[in-house]
Structures are given as structure tokens and as C-alpha cells.
Chains A and B, each alone.
Chain A
């Protein structure tokens, strides 16, 4: 015997489902649209920074170039070249002393205003200067080349000379320190909490606190770093060591939570089987639980480190968001990181820094995207169903 179905009620339920589905789809679309807008805006503003304008110039190398290189250039174009040549030309002569007394045709960096004009962006060139640029361009004496300086230079007050190298090196330093300090401590703490800790009130408080640390505004870790590492321990301000330690504190709870989840996913039968064969508790953890949960642990670690890479707020407090031109020469010398560099550029008043800011964001996004992709690949490759 079948139940009689009321067609009206059935239609109503099906309509309800269709509406719910449409609503969910709309929510997803809104998120997708925002993402697309964000990406296109960043790329539209930033892709031009990967090209740089250069001007062909006749340079006569004389002894005077060490004092003032500007007269060595054709006076017609000396207004158009970057002030950075005052540093580059003497350096070239010092490296190749045989150039002395010779005239050479070189491609030198154009200044930011010319660069912006050639790229069709807002600039402050005077009409006769734009006419000159157009003339040189028609003669093939101005060209756009791939902007190697962006990847080979440190920060600079001249937009055309500014690059991300020092920030990228600083990021690598920080990431290494963060990993060294947070990974072992995080994994060991998670093992203790999952495998050995008694289920009592104290552990409950510890759990609440770990969850809390993973959720508090990251700026509080900056306060902690300032109070403990800089003020109490006296470690040097702005250094990669302090930055890495601060980010390690921030990453630690993320790693602990991810590791606990990975360990909890291992079925109890594995542990009981090993125990039944006479293994000690530690042997069970080391030989069975850890190897089986390692993919999950690594995934969580990579995601935690990716979060640390993009962090600026705690670094702002410990003085790493500053004008730092050179690569860090050690763990205790002043360093800056990619997001800090982006933040500094975003506050610059010169228009040419806008595209650098966006280009920096593109680089940072590419790094983060590849890290997260690695995490997902790891998870998909080693994921096991029990």
C-alpha cells in the first residue's frame, strides 16, 4: 500500500528547495564576483610595473662622473633620466676602469614621470617634455623593457628604482625562523594534548586558551613581541629574529589546532592494535600516529605559515614596517617583509608607487596561492579513508 501524496504539498516543498538552491548559488556568486573584481583591479593597476621605461643615452666617462654624473649625459635628456643614474654610472666606472675617457651608448632608467607618461598614466611632465619623449620614442631611443630592477633592487625613495628584493629576502628569513620555532613546539604540544594529557579542568582551560590565541587580533602578538623580545630580552628592534619569533607565537596555536585535528582523525584501532602487540605509548605515537597524521600536520603548517607571510600588524608594532633599503645581513640586522613593503608603498605620495604597490600585491598573492596549492595537493595525495 502506498501513501497518497498531496500534489500541492509536494509542489510547495519542491519550490522551497529551488529557492534555497538559488539563494545559496547567489551567495557563492557574490563571493566570486568580489574576488574577480579584486583580482582584475589589482592586476589592471599592477601589471604595468613589470615593465620599465629606459632611455638611450650617450655617456662620456670622465673623472668628474664620480662627483656629478649629470653633465656626462646629453643635456637634452638629462631631465628625463632617473636620478638613480647618479649612483649607477659611478658604480659602472668603478667596476670597469677601462671605460674612462670613452663615450658609450647606454640604456639608462627613465624617471618615474617619463615612465608613467609612456605607460599612459597620470604624470607631471611639462608639454615640451612630453613632446621630447614622443620624439625620442619615435626615434626608438625610449623603450619599455622587463623590469628586472623590481626583483633585483631593495626599496628606494625613487619609484623607478624601488624593488622587492630586500623585502623578499626578509620574508624568507622570517619564515625560516617562524618554522624552526613554531613547528616542533606546536607538534609536540598537540601530541601531548591528544595522546597523553588527562581530561581534566586544567586541560580544558589550556584548550580554551589555545583556541583563543588562534583567534585574537594579530596585533596583540605585536604587543607581546614588543614587551618580551624587545623590551625584556633586549633583542634588536626591526630585526628578522624578533619578527620571526613574534610570528612564531602567532603561528603556534594554528599548528597545534591543525595537528590535533590530524591526530584525532587516526582511528583508535591503530593505537589499540599497536598497544596490544606490546608497544609503549611513545612507540605507538612515534611509529604509527605521527607518520599517519604527517600529511595533515604539514597541510596545517603550510596554511599557518601562509598566514604568517601575509601578516603586517604585529610587525608594525615591532618596527619592521619602515624604510629599509638593504637586504638583511643577518638575523639581527634590520629587515622588512613583503606585506610591510606593500604597506609602506601604499602610503607613498608619488603616483608611480601605486603600480608598485599593486605589483607587490601580485607577487605576494602568487606566493600565497602557490603555498596553499601545495597544501591542497599534499592533502589530496595522502588523504586516507579509514
Chain B
């Protein structure tokens, strides 16, 4: 939520952390907080962005659970 308040809406692809940028989260909020019908391209784009976020976090979680399973020590 904080990125919605703090990050901007400029889609700059840059490594410079001082340049205005946006995040997937902000784009989703921006696309869905307006008046549009449900099957408009904006709404569908928001769902696509949501899918990207879901897949990214799923990948991270699979890695983390694999690491936990591999290195968990059992002392008893």
C-alpha cells in the first residue's frame, strides 16, 4: 500500500534510483480506480500485472521452501 502513496506513475526503465519510477502495484491500483467496465483493456491489463506478481512471488516461495527443506536441521 505504501508504494501507492509514495511511488509515482512515470514508467522509466533506469538503474538510477533518483529518477521517478513506478511499480506493478501502483499500475494495478491506477488501472482499477476509475470508471470503466469490467472487460475493458485496462482492467484486463491490471489482471495480467497481478498474474506477473503472483508468479514472481510463487517462484520466490518455491525457492525458500526448497532451501528450508534442504537445510532444516533436526536435533531430536
Interface residues of A (CB under 8 A from B): 207-209, 211-212, 215-220, 222-223, 226-227, 231, 311-313, 316-317, 321, 339, 343, 346
Contacts and interface: CB of A to CB of B under 8 A. Distances in A.
Residue from B32, B50, B58 whose CB has the most chain A CB atoms within 10 Å? B50
Interface string B24-35: 010011001100
A215 B64 CA distance: 12
Pairs of residues from A and B, 8 with the lowest C-beta to C-beta distance, nearest first: A212-B61, A313-B1, A223-B50, A216-B57, A312-B1, A212-B58, A317-B32, A220-B50
B25 A313 contact: yes
B62 A218 contact: no
Given A316-B33, A317-B29, A220 B54 contact: yes
Contacts of A212: 54, 57-58, 61
A313 B29 contact: yes
Main secondary structure of the interface of B (DSSP, over half): helix
Contacts, number: 62
B50 A316 contact: no
Interface of B: 1, 4-5, 25, 28-29, 32-33, 38, 46-47, 50, 53-54, 57-58, 60-62, 64-65
B5 A346 contact: yes
A223 B46 contact: yes
Nearest to A230: B38
B58 to A, nearest CB: 5
B33 A216 contact: no
B32 A215 contact: no
Contact of B1 (A208, A218, A226): A218
Given A226-B32, A311-B1, A216 B65 contact: no
Interface of A is mostly: helix
Contacts of A208: 58, 61-62, 65
Contact of B61 (A211, A218, A231, A321): A211
Most A Cβ at <10 Å: residue of B25, B38, B61: B61
Nearest to B39: A231
A219 B50 contact: yes
B54 A216 contact: yes
Contact of B53 (A209, A217, A339): A217
Contact of A316 (B4, B58, B62): B4
With a 10 A CB-CB cut-off, give which of A207, A211, A215, A219 has the most chain B CB atoms: A219
Contacts of B29: 219, 313, 316-317
Contacts of A317: 28-29, 32-33
A216 B47 CA distance: 14
B47 A227 contact: yes
A313 B29 CA distance: 8
A222 B53 CA distance: 13
